[in-house]
């Protein structure tokens, strides 16, 4: 299996994703500079977290226009799986790969902590390592993670089983106190129509090592890698 991680100016989780993927794959993914207009042959593309272009305009808005993104969008449309984490999720919405957008957190403050996620749908490359309804733990670290879309879009996402994760209590209940950013309907991650693109604010690569306090992220990455051969 071959993976590619796109690196934008201001990406800062690119190394973390590389380390976690390498642990799962046994060899490092290709690191692709944003200015490249071609991508190497890849079975998985990762858009990593960070502050591309400082997030000075609107999170992800400038990175969505990077030369490498044209190719990412084309590959995604051709069915190549894309895992878009945090700033990557923001970039994916700005690039039209996923609906909706990520606004400033309701608290207007950056938030970094472990959160509990309820797996909403397990029939996908990214989530079939989990059971639907299972509660997993991964960290968030963002200032703009407040997912929003219009009601029709949200209804469609729900009808089409395209909500991947929701923020929840350790017991799996949805509650305001368990939602770190005010996301509408507690949404933490969503799929595209074919469930080959996953955008999520939590960072699976940050709990992919027992010494860091958990391995739910590793479970997810290992399974993706295994499934893609």
Partner 1 sequence: MSAPAAPAAPAQAEPAITAELVASHGLSDEEYARIEALLGRAPNFTELGIFSVMWSEHCSYKSSRIWLKTLPTEAPWVICGPGENAGIIDIGDGQAAVFKMESHNHPSYIEPYQGAATGVGGILRDIFTMGARPIANMNALRFGSPDEAKTRHLIAGVVAGIGGYGNCIGVPTVGGACEFHAAYDGNNLVNAMTVGVADAGRIFYSAAAGVGHSVVYAGSGTGRDGIHGATMASAEFASDSEAKRPTVQVGDPFTEKLVLEACLELMATDAIEAIQDMGAAGLTCSSVEMADKGGTGIELDLDRVPVRETDMTPYEIMLSESQERMLMVLKPGREEVAQRIFDKWQVDSAIIGRVTDSGRLVLKAGNAVVGDLPIRPLVDEAPVYERPYLEPAPRAPLAPADLPADPPPMQALARLVGSPDLCSKRWIWEQYDHMVMTDTVQRPGGDAAVVRVHGTDKRLAITTDCTPRYCVADPKLGGAQAVAEAWRNLSAVGAKPLAITDCLNFGSPEHPEVMGQFVGCVLGMGEACRALDFPVISGNVSFYNETNGHPILPTPTIGGVGLIAGSGRMATLAFKAADETVLLIGATEGHLGASLYLRDILGSEAGVPPPLDLAAERRNGDFVRGLIERGLVSACHDVADGGLLVALAEMALATCPAGEPIGVRIAPPAPADDAAPLAAWLFGEDQARYVVSAPAADVPTIMAAARAADVPAQAIGHTGGDALTLDGRGAISITELHRAHEGWLPDYMAAPI
- Chain residues that interact with partner 1, rule: CB under 8 A: 9-10, 12-13, 15-16, 19-20, 49-51, 53-56, 109-113, 139, 141, 143, 170, 203, 205-206, 208-209, 211-213
Helix then strand count (H, E) for the chain reads: 5, 11
Tokens of 179: 């939602």
Q: Closest distance between partner 1 and the C-beta of residue 111, in Å? A: 6
Nearest one of 187, 164, 167 to 175, comparing CA atoms? 167
Q: 34, 116, 142, 203: which is the annotated catalytic residue? A: 203
What's the min distance (Å) between Cβ of 9 and partner 1? Answer: 6
Residues paired with residue 50 on neighbouring β-strands, in sequence order: 11
Please, what is the minimum distance in Å from the beta carbon of residue 216 to partner 1?
A: 14
Extract the tokens encoding 174.
Answer: 């949805």
Which of 86, 94, 116, 120 is an active site residue?
86
Closest by Cα among 56, 76, 57, 58 to 6: 76
Set 71, 94, 120, 205: catalytic member: 205
Q: Which of 18, 121 has the CB closer to partner 1?
A: 18
Quote the DSSP letter at residue 209: B
Three-class DSSP category at 138: strand
Judged by beta carbon, residue 120 or residue 144, the one nearer partner 1 is: 144
CB closer to partner 1 out of 54 and 67: 54
Smallest gap from residue 221 Cβ to partner 1 (A): 12
- Reading the block at residue 165, the tokens are 């994760």
Rounded Cα distance, 188 and 196, in Å: 17
Nearer to partner 1, 209 or 222 (CB): 209
Residue 203: active-site member: yes
Q: Which residues are catalytic?
A: 86, 203, 205
């Amino acid at each position: 299996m071959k993976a590619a991680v796109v690196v934008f100016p201001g990406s800062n989780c690119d190394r973390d994703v590389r380390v976690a993927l390498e642990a799962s794959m046994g060899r490092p993914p290709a690191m692709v500079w944003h200015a490249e207009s071609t991508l190497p042959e890849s079975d998985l593309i990762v858009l990593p977290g960070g502050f591309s272009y400082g997030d000075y305009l609107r999170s992800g808005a400038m990175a969505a226009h990077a030369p490498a993104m044209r190719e990412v969008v084309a590959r995604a449309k051709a069915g190549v799986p894309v895992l878009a984490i945090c700033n990557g999720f923001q970039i994916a919405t700005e690039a039209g790969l996923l609906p909706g957008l990520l606004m400033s957190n309701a608290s207007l403050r950056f938030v970094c902590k472990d959160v509990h996620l309820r797996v909403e749908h397990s029939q996908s490359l990214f989530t079939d390592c989990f059971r639907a309804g299972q509660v997993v733990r991964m960290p968030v670290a963002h200032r703009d993670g407040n997912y929003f879309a219009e009601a029709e879009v949200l209804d469609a996402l729900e009808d089409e089983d395209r909500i991947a994760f929701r923020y929840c209590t350790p017991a799996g209940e949805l509650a305001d106190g368990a939602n770190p950013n005010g996301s509408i309907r507690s949404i933490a991650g969503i799929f595209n129509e074919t469930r080959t693109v996953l955008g999520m604010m939590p960072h699976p690569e940050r709990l992919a090592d027992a010494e860091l306090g958990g391995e739910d992220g590793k479970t997810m990455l290992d399974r993706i890698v295994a499934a893609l051969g």
